[in-house]
Amino acid sequence: METAGRLIPFQVHEEYRKQSSPEMHLYKLQDGRLQVVTEGRLPMLLCGPFYILAQNKLALFLQACSIPNFSTKPAEVFRRADGKRWQSHYELIVKDELFPGSISSVDARGYRLWHFRSSHLFVSPELRDRLMSDFPELQYSPGFRGFYGIPSDELERGE
């Protein structure tokens, strides 16, 4: 998407209509492990307070794209009650942060990733185009459209 001749990043999330059961909710502990708080399915992409998780296939795909300021580490998801562990996801470590006030001025050319408040993932238009063919279950929203708590006039002005 372009605004005044500039490319705008897209927020990426899993398509909600295809979900057959609620998503798992996690709590990130100080040591980096992720504890299950609410049972549910562990989707391909799971964003929550201070974490962004991607299934191994998606994380490896992103690693292969040579994206600047981006790395991954295996996520340690566990359920305290019985000690069950999931090793199906990586934590995405995205160093570049995006804000409503900066979205219209970021360089969104090439393959790029951003986070918002360490809880939402954004991709450049070119990376979105590549992801769309290999990961059809993911959806994309331009900029901050649809975010709660951000006044719509801020979104229109790109603040």
pLDDT reading at 3 higher than 60? no
Is pLDDT of 40 > 60? Answer: yes
Q: Give percent of the chain above pLDDT 90.
A: 73
The CB density around residue 9, as the number of other CB atoms within 10 Å, is 26
- Is the per-residue pLDDT at 156 higher than 50? no
Of the chain, the end-to-end C-alpha distance in Å amounts to 17
Query: Residue 4: pLDDT above 80?
Result: no
Range of the domain at 61: 2-16+24-157
Contact 45, 18 (CB under 8 A): no
Q: What is the pLDDT of residues 85-123, one digit of tens each?
A: 999 999 999 999 999 888 889 999 999 999 999 999 999
At 151, the pLDDT band (50, 70, 90 cuts) reads low
Of 45, 43, 98, nearest in space to 72 by CA: 45
Q: What is the pLDDT of residue 90?
A: 98
Binned at pLDDT 50, 70 and 90, residue 155 comes out as: very low
How many structural domains is the chain composed of? 1
Mean pLDDT score, 44-62: 96
Helix (H, G, I), strand (E, B) or coil at 157: helix
